[in-house]
Amino acid sequence: MTATARVLVVEDNEDLRVAVAAELRAQGFHVDEAADLAEAHAALGRADHDCAVFDRMLPDGDAVTYVGRRRQDGWAVPVLFLTARDAVADRVAGFEHGGDDYLVKPFAVPEMSARVIALCRRAGERRSPVLRHGDLELDSARRRVRRAGALVTVSDKEFAILEYLMARPEQAVTRSELIDHCWDTSTDPMSNVVDVVVRRLRAKLRTPELIHTVRGVGYRFGAARSGS
């Protein structure tokens, strides 16, 4: 797991959802919370997630059915189902509809956390851990950034922003997207926190500059353009 890993927790029992989210945050995850499938769907559309934890029976439907539909559309985020339904047929249904792990309630929260870490690690191993652009290299597995071969020391937030931008070269990325991916949902989207972190990151990466301001939108990673 990297320090920038993001997890969605979908649970309608508020006390349990808060406890699960708190444990995952203590392990270094960014956590989004949802109380039903509608909120989960909106959260998945706002940010990229490394893992999703779904209670099975939610007020607006069975999460197994929802995940099964998303899998048919090519959605590949690892899923851990939490449920009080412990029959073998229920567990099999969870796996058949695209679940990667299944934990029966009541469960120990640290065990749940360990399972999420394992799912994120396996997902990370399937992705290319190194992003490169010119003389800039970002190693997701080792959390290292190098420019022209020299190690660049960056903070967790600086690393998260750089990783997100490098994975989307030449795309305009909004400040709201960066907040959704790199901060918890409590961060004020009108805050200038993104601009502050990007300014520090630019100074550390030195020239030629690779993170460019897109006026009225946010930022773009890549080569300089005329007038940018």
Residues 25 and 113 grouped into a single domain: yes
Instruction: Quote the number of domains for the chain.
Output: 2
What is the reported pLDDT for 33? 95
CB-count exposure of residue 81 (10 Å: 0-12, 13-18, 19+): buried
For residue 182, being part of any structural domain is answered with: yes
Query: In the predicted model, is pLDDT for residue 127 greater than 70?
Result: no
Range of the domain at 214: 130-221
Model confidence at 227, pLDDT cuts 50, 70, 90, reads low
Shared domain check, 143 and 106: no
Domain boundary among 108, 126, 144: 126
Per-residue pLDDT for 126 more than 60? no
Same structural domain for residues 210 and 98?
no
The owner of tokens 């959260």 is: 43
CATH number of the domain at 83, please. Answer: 3.40.50.2300
Largest CA distance in the chain: 63
For the stretch 11-61, pLDDT in tens is 999 999 999 999 999 988 889 999 999 999 998 888 778 899 999 999 999
Give the pLDDT confidence score for residue 12 in this predicted structure. 95
Q: What is the pLDDT of residues 210-221, one digit of tens each?
A: 999 999 899 999
CATH number at residue 204: 1.10.10.10
Provide the b/e sequence for 38-51 (b: ≥16 CB within 10 Å): ebbeebbeebebbb
pLDDT in tens, 174-202: 998 888 888 765 556 566 889 999 999 99
- Between CA 160 and CA 34 the distance in angstroms is 23
Q: Mean pLDDT score of the chain, rounded to an integer?
A: 86
Last residue of a domain, one of 126, 160, 179: 126
Between residues 227 and 58, the one the model is more confident about: 58
Do 26 and 112 share a domain, yes or no? yes
Q: What pTM does this model have?
A: 0.60
Q: Tell me what pLDDT residue 41 has.
A: 93
Q: What pLDDT is recorded for position 98? A: 84
Residues sharing a CB contact under 8 Å with residue 117, sequence separation 6 or more, in sequence order = 1, 27
Q: Please identify, among 98, 126, 154, the residue that sits at the C-terminal boundary of a domain.
A: 126
Paired tokens of 69: 């539909």
pLDDT tens sequence across 72-120: 887 888 999 998 877 777 778 888 888 899 998 899 999 999 999 988 8
- How confident is the model at residue 87, as a pLDDT? 76
> Are 106 and 192 contained in the same domain?
no
